[in-house]
Amino acid sequence: MQLKDTIRESQGFLNRAIVAGMLVVAAVLLLVWRMLQLQIVNHEHFTTLSRENRVKVVPVPPTRGLIYDSRGVLLAQNRPAYSLEITPEQVEDLDDVLSELGKVIEIGDEDLERFWQLKKRKRRFDSVPIRVNLSPDETAQFAVHRHRFPGVDIKAQLLRHYPHDIKTTHVLGYVGRVSQRDLEQIDASNYAGTSHIGKNGVEKTYESALHGSVGYEQIEINAAGRKVRTLEQTPPEPGVDIHLHLDIALQEVAMKAFGDNNGAIVAINPQNGGVLAFVSQPGYDPNLFVEGISRKDYDALQKDINRPLYNRALRGQYPPGSTVKPFMGLAGLEYGVIQFDSSVYCPGFFQLPGNTHRYRDWKKTGHGPMDLDAAIVQSCDVFFYKLAYDLGVDRLHEFLGQFGFGDRTGIDLTGESTGLLPSRQWKRRSRNQPWYPGETLIMGIGQGYFLTTPLQLAAATAAIANDGSYYTPHVVDYLRSRESGEITPIPPTSEQIPKSLQHNWEDVRNGMVNVVESPRGTAKRIRSKDYRIAGKTGTAQVFTVAQDEDYDEDEIDKRLRDHALFIAYAPVENPQIAIAVVVENGGHGGSTAAPIARQVIDAYLLRDQAPSEESSELQPTPAR
Amino acid sequence: MNYSPRQLGDLTPTNPNSRQGLLAVFHIDLPLLVGLLLLCGFGLIVLYSASGENLGQVERQAVRIVLAFFVMLAIAQISPGTLRRWSPSLYAIGVLMLVAVLVFGEVGKGAQRWLDLGIVRFQPSEMVKLAVPLMIAWFLAEQRLPPRWRRLLIAAVLIVIPVLLIAKQPDLGTALLVASAGIFVLFLAGISWRLIGALAVGGAAAAPVVWYLMRDYQRQRVLTFLDPENDPLGAGYHIIQSKIAIGSGGLYGKGWLNGTQSQLDFLPERHTDFIFAVLAEEFGLIGVLILLALYLFVIARGLYIATRAQDTFTRLLAGSLILEFFVYLFVNTGMVSGLLPVVGVPLPLVSYGGTSLVTLMAGFGMLMSIHTHRRLLPT
């Protein structure tokens, strides 16, 4: 039996091996047939091609898409620029040519460094830039000597330019030369003719749309490698234009309103999450980066104590301070922990049961009896200490998480910070410590571990204005093909925060209205006669004051002064703009942050009504 | 080893008392050895031209060839029984290292293939090219052939795991080779024609459905994959230039070192994946036929060894190894001549490079071991 099986198996194998052998022979015959076809039948054809292999395929880069603001103002354009390029293959002694060239046109060390670096990455017959951004004088100067330099040529290309430079950097980002690292992440053949790629901001997020697809030309070249004629052509597909929700005039107002302060403003359209203004102060000139920033300029930017490279609106993490109070109040109402008219007596401090530590109110003498509305309007800390204590950290974490705190908003910009919404699990994980009840109190007034980004605050404020519809903030409104005019909208995405009682939301919003409208409100000074604003001030501690010390603003170094915050939306009846302002070391939210918000809201809501003196200055400057 | 098979007469494959004695002692199969040496030698001649008369490169490759032959010899000394015992562990180690590559591996040329073990850098997918046929042959040889459904299913899973891991690196060429090695074991093990037919029909029927489910850009990729000449800046450029090189070679070729396509830089990757085009340009159809004849000789000898093997495991292993070698050859030549889509597979034993060479020779070591360790049973 055993033997029989073995024999049967062996016979079966033999059959299969024969089939496999036949397959092999068939495949080899197929190959031979292919070789006959190439080498005998079409031999003449290929011989001709090989003898005249002067056909070169050259990539034709697509034109990069333009970027416009919501009113059609051009924010990113392509300008012709002239550069001096060398084709190494056509140059006999590169060092010699470089030194001769240096006598005709100024060539700096940085130019040389870039040249050798780029040369390594290119094929010998590709030209490599030695000088960029030639002035008309330099162009003329070289033209005179051109005959002495075979293989060296002036090349015109379109270079990215940002006419509103510093005003747009933190949103648009910028393009820079394609680096080795970029190459590993993109389809290299699609970038065969492209020198620049989005490095940051909208330029990076929408890179593939802005870039388009490469075209190519089959050209005939002569012995010197110069083009004789085009044989075949596939035009490139130009990049798509991008239209933002952003309003550059508003952006400008916001930046002006900041003055010398550092900080961030994010303004969002609550009805679709579109970002209307997105400012991080100070900014920097993106045009510096387009042709490779010089080391000196870069060092200066990096060492600047005001950190202009830092995108505060997107990455800055600040304690929300009292701006969290409306959210806290809503949590209390929605969980049924407090009623609208629940009253708490504020003696100026709060104590945990069985503990002597006094959690102080900002007002030493206390606010007296407080209901929710008064507590929001006057920003009473004690009321919210107690509310936070009654809610507990777990419910706080759950409720505030629904407003996007502690997580990336998902905006269409890269590098966003998550902020930090603390929880028991977080503390256990990151510090291996239990959660202490006192930390819940501190969290209840937006201090302690709790960190938010200005973007998160604006999006959350929009959700309050919007009755719980949380829209993912986004900068880009729609894409528009320049050729066909076809428009691809970026649809808003929203999530509904679960609600238990509609009037809870109205109660909290009324509290926010009274922050501005009531004579006791912390932001009463920004009251407007044209429309009503709902808001909440906040002050975020930068350093901690000891238990019995007083915080004296004037005595403290400016960098240790509190951050001023303000969140708001307007008009109350039909919210069109939600805004978050953080003024670093600005002191009180009501006095520094709120007036900035007011100016931005004014500029947005009244832009078409009363063209005042100021607003004429706000008109976008045409590109020069 | 000193046991003399002479007494058993002509059934013995080797004869220690003749001049073949040394070969028998070192478990060498002479025809295979000669075939391999000729192929490697021919390869070096072509490489000299393809590298632009770079003697250094030729020397480096020659050293690699010598090393690879030693690896082959070393493996030929291991008895098939030992190989069989090692199979599951080799397979497990191979798969674990593939996972490690995806997690810690180094990225080179846009794909993650290398594992840095401190002293040496190692490409686990190479080892898997041998481990998969070993494993599947071991697994199917455990029971009577042809395999039952359950066995087949498990075997298929055992093939698919490493193939997916390699494809993810991404290294489609190697994934294809590993998959084909595993599938050949199944084929040789005698899975029913009905099943083969059903799979073929099923695959053909599924294609339109998959096509329908794909997104536009995925479809575009498949189209470029199938017709690279649509992409003259990327893969298509290679194919256009390589077809010109082959076609202009004609019957007799342009002569050694005289291929204009190859020498003037028009042909990319000419000493690695596209070396076949250099050969075709400089030695013409005649050179191609000689090369193919050498390959066919080696493959025929391999298949012969497989049919003479004495148990299921060695039969399946030998058969699938030699057929994997054939797939190597066919995928490369098919790609270079524009018959098949572009997949990065070198021309076995001829292309410049050491990693695949060592693996291939290790495989031939196994073939020699199988052939020279046969027991003296009437077959």
Domain ranges of chain A: 2-53, 57-240, 248-300+312-608
**Distance of residue A181 Cα from the nearest chain B Cα, in angstroms:** 10
Q: What is the mean pLDDT of chain B?
A: 84
What is the per-residue pLDDT for B321?
Answer: 95
Of these ranges, A338-342, A474-478, B227-231, the one predicted with the greatest mean pLDDT is A474-478
pLDDT of residue B17: 45
pLDDT for res A553: 56
Chain B window 58-97: which residues touch A at a Cβ cutoff of 8 Å? none
Query: Does domain A248-300+312-608 correspond to CATH entry 2.70.98.30?
Result: no
What's the one-letter identity of residue B200?
Answer: A
Rounded mean pLDDT, A433-455: 88
Q: For residue A39, give the nearest of B251, B264, B266 by CB distance.
A: B251
Whether residue B109 has pLDDT greater than 60: no
The tens digit of pLDDT for each residue in B237-261 reads 778 888 888 998 999 988 888 777 7
Give the Cα separation of B177 and B166 in Å (integer).
Answer: 10
User: Rounded mean pLDDT of chain A?
Assistant: 83
Q: Which of A38, A48, A52, A213 to mutate to test the interface with B (most CBs of B within 10 A)?
A: A38
CA separation for the pair A68, A604 (Å, rounded): 18
Q: Do A600 and A250 touch, CB atoms closer than 8 A? A: yes
Query: Residue B261 half-sphere exposure, CB side, CA atoms within 13 Å?
Result: 35
pLDDT of residue A350: 84
Tokens at residue A277, please? 């203004």
User: Does A57 contact B264 at a Cβ distance shorter than 8 Å?
Assistant: no
β-sheet bridge partners, residue A229: A220
Strand partners, A452: A318
Instruction: Search chain B and give the residue with CA nearest A49.
Output: B244
Residue-level pLDDT at A105 = 81
Per-residue pLDDT band for B318 (boundaries 50, 70, 90) equals very high
Q: Which of A83, A195, A322, A423 is catalytic?
A: A322
User: Do the beta carbons of residue A351 and residue A485 sit within 8 Å?
Assistant: no
**Tens-place pLDDT, residues A144-173:** 888 778 778 888 878 888 988 888 888 888
Decide: A596 and A583 in contact? Cβ < 8 Å: yes
- Nearest Cα neighbor of A76 from A171, A208, A213 is A171
Asked which of A22-26, A185-189, A201-205, A569-573 is least confident by mean pLDDT, the reply is A185-189
What integer pLDDT is reported at residue B256 of this predicted model?
86
A10 contacts B319? CB cut-off 8 A: no
pLDDT digits (tens, 9 = 90+) for A560-605: 678 888 999 989 888 999 999 998 887 776 678 888 888 888 888 8
Position A428 pLDDT exceeds 80: yes
Is A28 within 8 Å of chain B by CB? yes
Q: In angstroms, rounded to a whole number, what is the distance separating the alpha carbons of residues B181 and B129?
A: 7
Using CA atoms, how far apart are residues A478 and A261, in angstroms rounded to an integer? 33
pLDDT interval class at B188 (50, 70, 90): very high
A13 touches chain B (CB under 8 A): yes
The tokens for A21 are 């052998």
Condensed to tens digits (0 to 9), the pLDDT of residues A364-402 reads: 888 888 888 888 888 888 888 888 888 888 888 998 899
Centre a 10 Å sphere on the Cβ of residue A193 and count the other Cβ atoms it contains: 19
Where in chain B does DSSP place strands (E)? 106-108, 111-116, 121-122
Q: In the A/B pair of chains, how many CB contacts fall below 8 A?
A: 134
DSSP-H helix ranges across A272-337: 287-290, 295-303, 312-315, 325-334
User: A216 and B333 in contact by Cβ < 8 A?
Assistant: no
Q: What is the pLDDT of residue A453?
A: 92
A615: CB partners within 8 A, 6+ apart: A249, A603, A607
Which residues does chain B have within 8 Å of residue A28's beta carbon, measured at their own beta carbons?
292, 295-296, 330
B292 with A28: Cβ contact below 8 A: yes
Interface confidence, given as ipTM, is 0.88
A93, pLDDT greater than 90: no
Q: What does the alpha-carbon distance between residue A296 and residue A313 come to, in Å, rounded to a whole number?
A: 26
The question of whether A379 is a catalytic residue gets the answer no
The CA-based angle B252-A221-A136, given to 5 degrees, is: 155
User: Tens of pLDDT along A44-62?
Assistant: 888 887 776 666 777 888 8
Q: Which residues of chain A make contact with B323, given a CB cutoff of 8 A?
A: 20, 24
pLDDT at A265: 92
A487 touches chain B (CB under 8 A): no
Name chain A contacts of B247, Cβ cutoff 8 Å: 38-39, 42-43, 45-47, 49-50
Q: Is the pLDDT of residue B80 over 90?
A: yes
How far away is chain B from the Cα of A233, in angstroms, using its nearest Cα? 11
Three-class SS state of A94: helix
Query: Which helix (H) or strand (E) is A215 found in, with range?
Result: strand A215-221
Nearest CB to B188: which of A16, A40, A45? A16
Instruction: Check: CB of residue B318 under 8 Å from CB of residue B287.
Output: no
Instruction: For residue A38, give the nearest of B246, B299, B300 by CB distance.
Output: B246
Q: What is the pLDDT of residue A138?
A: 83
Q: Which of A507-521, B166-180, B276-290 has the highest mean pLDDT?
A: B276-290
Report pLDDT for A611: 47
pLDDT recorded at residue B6 = 43
Torsion angle of the four alpha carbons B162, B165, B166, B168, in this order, in degrees rounded to the nearest 10 = 160
A51 contacts on B by Cβ (under 8 Å): 248, 260
The stretch B318-340 carries a mean pLDDT of 92
Does A10 contact chain B (CB < 8 Å)? yes
Hey, where are the domains in chain B?
Answer: 28-372
* A91 Cα to chain B: minimum distance (Å): 17
pLDDT at A110 > cutoff 90: no
Q: How confident is the model at residue A620 (pLDDT cuts 50, 70, 90)?
A: very low
Share of chain A above pLDDT 70, in %: 90
Q: Which residue has the higher pLDDT, A21 or A145?
A: A21
How much of chain B exceeds pLDDT 90, in percent? 47
Q: What local confidence, expressed as pLDDT, does residue B11 receive?
A: 44
Q: How far, in Å, CA of A309 to CA of A304, rounded?
A: 9
Chain A residues touching B339 at Cβ < 8 A: 30-31, 34
Partner B contacted by A79 (CB < 8 A): no
Q: How far apart are CA A521 and CA A547, in angstroms?
A: 27
Q: Tell me: pLDDT of A198 over 50.
A: yes
Do the chains contact at B379 and A10, CB–CB below 8 Å? yes
Query: What are the DSSP calls for A133-166, one per residue?
Result: S--HHHHHHHHHHGGG-TTEEEEEEEEEE-TTHH
Least confident range from A82-86, A395-399, B75-79: namely: A82-86
Tell me the CB-side half-sphere exposure of residue B313, using CA atoms within 13 A. 22
Q: Are the beta carbons of A13 and B323 separated by less than 8 Å?
A: no
CA distance A303 to chain B (A): 34
* CATH fold of A57-240: Penicillin-binding protein 2a (Domain 2) (3.90.1310)
Contact between B250 and A27 using a beta-carbon 8 Å cutoff: no
Distance from CA of A198 to the nearest CA of B (A): 20
A43 touches B at CB < 8 Å? yes
According to the model, what pLDDT value does residue B158 have?
94
B188–A24 C-beta distance less than 8 A = no
Per-residue HEC secondary structure of A262-286 comes to CEEEEEECCCCCEEEEEEEECCCCC
pLDDT of B336 > 60? The answer is: yes
How would residue A558 be classed by pLDDT, with cut points 50, 70 and 90? Answer: low
Q: Which B positions 264-283 lie with beta carbon below 8 A of chain A?
A: 264-266, 280
Quote the CA–CA distance of A373 and A333 in Å, as a whole number.
Answer: 12
Average pLDDT over residues B50-57: 85
Three-class DSSP category at A305: coil
pLDDT of residue A615: 38
Instruction: Please list, in sequence order, all residues whose beta carbon lies within 8 angstroms of the beta carbon of residue B328, skipping any fewer than 6 positions away.
Output: B177, B345, B346, B347, B348, B360
Q: Cα separation of A356 and B314, whole Å?
A: 83
Q: Is A35 in CB contact (< 8 Å) with chain B?
A: yes
Residues B253, B281: Cα–Cα separation, whole Å:
5
- B354–A contact, CB cutoff 8 A: no
Q: For residues B168-184, give the mean pLDDT.
A: 87
CA neighbours closer than 13 Å in the CB half-sphere of residue A460: 30
Are B244 and A50 an interchain contact pair (Cβ–Cβ within 8 Å)?
Answer: yes
pLDDT of residue A62: 87
Q: Is the peptide bond before B170 cis (omega within 30 degrees of 0)?
A: yes
How many CB atoms lie under 10 A from the CB of residue A271?
Answer: 18
The two three-digit tokens of residue A301, written as one number: 């930017």
Q: Mark yes or no for CB contact A43/B337 under 8 Å.
A: no
Given a cut of 60, whether residue A114 has pLDDT beyond it is yes
Neighbours of B31 (CB within 10 A): 14
Q: Are B336 and B46 in contact (CB under 8 A)?
A: no
- Per the CB < 8 A criterion, the answer to whether B366 and B317 are in contact is yes
